Amino acid sequence: MGIKIVDTVFRDGPQSLIATRMTTDEILSCASILDKAGYHALEVWGGATFDSCISFLNEDPWERLRAIRKACPNTKLQMLFRGQNILGYRHYSDDIVEKFVQKSLENGIDIIRVFDALNDIRNLKSAVTATKKYHGHCQIALSYTTSPVHTVEYYVKLAQEVEKMGADSLCIKDMAGVLLPDDAYKLIKQLKANTKLPIELHSHCTGGICEMTYQKAIEAGVDIIDTALSPFANGTSQPATEAFNYALKNTKYDPKLNQDCLNQAAEILTKIKDKYLANGILNPKALSSNPNILKYQVPGGMLSNLMNQLAKQGAMDKYEEVLKEVPRVRQELGYPPLVTPLSQMVGTQAVMNIITNERYKMVPKEIKDYLHGLYGKAPAPIDQNILKKIIGDDKVITHRPADDLKPEFAQLKEKYKDLVKCDEDVLSIALFEQKAIKFLTEKYHPTPKDEVEEFNLYVG
């Protein structure tokens, strides 16, 4: 059977290249064409798309999902779900997780890809249970990273655990694009030999090696690969869908996508890409490969965040020093994979260690929470001297962090009953609080134009 393809052109592609600014209209301009291409699934939704909709695009993310569903009756729709963090940055109570899963499936999602930054599978449990309960396909993604503890055996053991937990498929999520071709071959071979789960590979072209890695993974028996239609492929995004459709043609791996559909959609999206190049949202730098991510083993997004943080402090001369500090911090913190929110946390700590000239003199609240066990279990033991220096003899929790959270949904629904019109609105508020309140207030109670003028006149 041929390789199955998940196209990320509506989610990870725009997230990697244009800060998730693709609008619903732009998506709908070619969604119905791609619906006929023969994909395994289209990836359409995730934390950044949701956030960008309400914070920048003034669009309701739930309406976007329903519109894509309507335009794509033949193709499965997939979303990315951060375990107990759902689409946000903190742990939510189990009732919010369940409700969010239920509403995502009701509004059009078929496949929920659930991951936890630390690969602490206790943080996946309630999302998995809810996905099964509401008859969705539950894919568990393991965050891929390199460290002395992140061996092939480590991933095989985790894969067997998530299989037992009820996952329908497994994804290796290489958000940094650091998985080397030969390592991919060994990893996929062992996963295929030791589980019955279909295996998907998600990586990024950032380091310039992704096509080679995918090819070796295909030879090792991977079932599904994530690619992006060419206008939003390569650079910090996934490799181009069309490239794999041509490269594997007439082999036993032939994905058999409809090339005419791909061409038609690519033509439309190329015009959209050109607009983002012209207005500067698409930085041409994001389109070239950057071998530094292989040298420092950090995701491309994190490199640009570090640059921004240092530029704001007028400390760009410290860039190399900070990049050397990142692996040190990561080791001391028990080798967390550098994926949201840990990538931001480790990056900020590394910047603070260098800027203040004293390591761990300043520590963000999130790192303190992490050391208290509030994000789950670190992959490797945490450096005890660092732990003592930062949190002293404080209690570190060893149970699942969400066990301490009380149900939140009913209370939120009551609190915002004058603002919300449906459970989806309550969920938007649960996850994005002030941003969602502002968005919904504007959506349901837009300030009339002359009132604004009157107000301006008043204060003027």
Q: In whole angstroms, how close is the CB of 253 to Co ion at the nearest point?
A: 22
CA separation for the pair 345, 1 (Å, rounded): 42
Q: In whole angstroms, how close is the CB of 457 to Co ion at the nearest point?
A: 49
Q: Which is nearer to Co ion, 115 or 296 (CB)?
A: 115
Q: Which is nearer to Co ion, 103 or 173 (CB)?
A: 173
The H-or-E segment that residue 111 falls in is strand 111-115
Q: Which is nearer to Co ion, 175 or 178 (CB)?
A: 175
Q: In whole angstroms, how close is the CB of 337 to Co ion at the nearest point?
A: 12
Residue type, 184: A
Q: In whole angstroms, how close is the CB of 375 to Co ion at the nearest point?
A: 20
Q: In whole angstroms, how close is the CB of 11 to Co ion at the nearest point?
A: 9
Cross-strand pairs, 225: 5, 201
Contact 183, 216 (CB under 8 A): no
Q: In whole angstroms, how close is the CB of 339 to Co ion at the nearest point?
A: 9
**3-state helix/strand/coil string of 27-95:** HHCCHHHHCCCCCCEEEEECHHHHHHHHHHHCCCHHHHHHHHHHHCCCCEEEEEECHHHCCCCCCCCHH
Query: Cα angle at 141 between 249 and 43, to 5 degrees?
Result: 55
Q: Which is nearer to Co ion, 115 or 253 (CB)?
A: 115
Q: Which is nearer to Co ion, 160 or 283 (CB)?
A: 283
User: Dihedral of the CA atoms 184, 177, 153, 81 (nearest 10)?
Assistant: -120
Q: In whole angstroms, how close is the CB of 302 to Co ion at the nearest point?
A: 13
Q: In whole angstroms, how close is the CB of 371 to Co ion at the nearest point?
A: 27
Q: Each residue of 413-422: b (16+ CB within 10 Å) or e?
A: beebeebbee
Alpha-carbon distances, residue 392 vs 174, 334, 388 (angstroms): 35, 18, 4
* Closest residue to Co ion: CB criterion: 12
Q: Which is nearer to Co ion, 224 or 420 (CB)?
A: 224
Classify residue 447 by its DSSP letter.
P
Q: Which is nearer to Co ion, 12 or 94 (CB)?
A: 12
Q: In whole angstroms, how close is the CB of 175 to Co ion at the nearest point?
A: 5
Q: Which is nearer to Co ion, 98 or 226 (CB)?
A: 226
Q: Which is nearer to Co ion, 6 or 175 (CB)?
A: 175
Q: Which is nearer to Co ion, 3 or 80 (CB)?
A: 80
Q: In whole angstroms, how close is the CB of 15 to Co ion at the nearest point?
A: 7
What value does the CA radius of gyration of the chain take, rounded to a whole number of Å? 22
CA separation for the pair 48, 50 (Å, rounded): 5
- Specify the long-range contacts of residues 435-439, CB closer than 8 Å, at least 24 apart: 435/51, 435/54, 435/55, 436/54, 439/54, 439/55, 439/58, 439/60
Q: Tokens 């033949």 belong to which residue?
A: 74
Residues contributing to the site for Co ion (CB under 5 A): 12, 175
Classify residue 230 by its DSSP letter.
G
Pick the closest to residue 79 from 48, 116, 39 (CA basis). Answer: 48
CA separation for the pair 142, 140 (Å, rounded): 7
Residues present in the chain in total: 460
Residue 115 structure tokens: 């991951």
Q: Which is nearer to Co ion, 108 or 300 (CB)?
A: 300
Q: Which is nearer to Co ion, 175 or 371 (CB)?
A: 175
Contact 234, 241 (CB under 8 A): no
Q: In whole angstroms, how close is the CB of 202 to Co ion at the nearest point?
A: 6
Residue 7 structure tokens: 């196209």
Q: In whole angstroms, how close is the CB of 43 to Co ion at the nearest point?
A: 9
